C-alpha cells in the first residue's frame, strides 16, 4: 500500500497538529485555518524541538523551543535561519487524511 489512512480531518484542530508514529520517526500532520493538511518530520533541525507543538500561522509553523519558522509547503526554514525539514505527501479524501508511505519507507530503508 502507498497511502495510509491516519485519521479524520476533524481529529486535528484547525491551526493545529497531531503526531503519527512511524518506523522512520514521528511525523507531524498539520491542519491550516483553511483546512489544508501538510506532513513533515516532527523534529526541528535546530535542537530537535517537536514542530507539532508549534503555533500554526498561514502555511507556516513556529518551533515551540526557539521560534524557528518553517514553511509547511516546502519544509524550508524561513527568515534568517537556515535548514529544512523533510516533508511528506498527504491528502484528504472523504474527510479522511491519507499519508504517502513511499517516501517514509525509503527513509527507513536508507
Partner 1 sequence: MKRKLVIIGAGMASGRMLETLLDMAPDAYDVTLFNAEPRGNYNRLMLSPVLSGEKTYEEIVTHDEAWYAARGIETRFGEHVVRIDRARQVVISARGETHYDKLVIATGSAPFILPVQGKDLPGVVTYRDLEDTNAMIAIARPGAKAVVIGGGLLGLEAAAGMAARGAEVVVIHIMGHLMERQLDPSAGYLLQKDLERRGIKVHCRGATKAILGHDRVEAVALDDGTVYGADLVCMAVGIRPEVRLANDAHLEVGRGIVVNDQMTTSDPAIHALGECVEHNRQLFGLVAPLYDQAKVLAATLAGQAAAFRPVQTATKLKVTGVDLFSAGDFAEGPGREDIVFRDPGRGIYKRLVIEGDRLLGAVMYGDTADGAWFFSQIKEGSDISAMRDTLIFGPGFQGAAPADPLAAVAALPPEAEICGCNGVCKGRIVTAIQGGAVTLDAVRASTKASASCGTCTGLVEQVMALTLGGGFKANANPPLCKCTDHTHEDVRRLIKAGAMKSIPAVMQELGWKTAGGCATCRPALNYYLIADWPLDYRDDRQSRFVNERNHANIQKDGTYSVVPRMWGGVTTPAELRAIADAADKYKVAMVKVTGGQRIDLLGVRKEDLPAIWADLNDAGMVSGHAYSKGLRTVKTCVGSEFCRFGTQDSTGLGIKLEKMLWGSWTPAKVKLGVSGCPRNCAEATCKDIGVVCVDSGYEVSVAGAAGMDVRETLPLCKVATEAEVMEAVAAFVQLYRENARYLHRIYKWVDKVGLDWCQAQIADPATRRALCDRFQLSQSIYQVDPWAEHAKPAERAKWAALADLTLEAAE
Q: Would you tell me which residues interact with partner 1 (CB under 8 A)?
A: 1, 4, 6-7, 11-16, 18-24, 26, 29, 32-33, 47-50, 53-58, 60, 62, 64-65, 67, 69, 99, 101, 104-105, 108
CB of 110 to partner 1, least distance (A): 12
Task: Write out the three cell numbers for 42.
Answer: 516532527
CB of 18 to partner 1, least distance (A): 4
Task: Write out the three cell numbers for 77.
Answer: 526554514
CB of 84 to partner 1, least distance (A): 19
Nearest 5°: the CA angle 60, 65, 71 is 15
Per-position DSSP letters for 75-109, written without gaps between them: -BBPTT---B--EE-EEEETTEEEEEHHHHHHHHH
Amino acid at each position: 500500500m502507498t497511502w495510509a489512512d491516519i485519521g479524520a480531518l476533524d481529529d486535528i484542530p484547525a491551526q493545529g497538529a497531531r503526531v503519527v508514529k512511524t518506523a522512520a520517526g514521528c511525523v507531524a500532520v498539520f491542519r491550516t485555518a483553511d483546512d489544508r493538511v501538510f506532513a513533515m518530520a516532527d523534529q526541528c533541525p535546530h535542537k530537535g524541538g517537536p514542530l507539532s507543538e508549534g503555533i500554526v500561522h498561514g502555511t507556516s509553523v513556529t518551533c515551540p523551543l526557539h521560534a524557528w519558522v518553517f514553511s509547511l509547503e516546502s519544509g524550508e526554514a524561513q527568515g534568517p535561519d537556515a535548514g529544512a525539514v523533510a516533508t511528506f505527501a498527504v491528502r484528504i479524501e472523504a474527510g479522511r487524511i491519507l499519508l504517502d508511505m513511499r517516501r517514509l519507507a525509503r527513509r527507513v530503508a536508507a
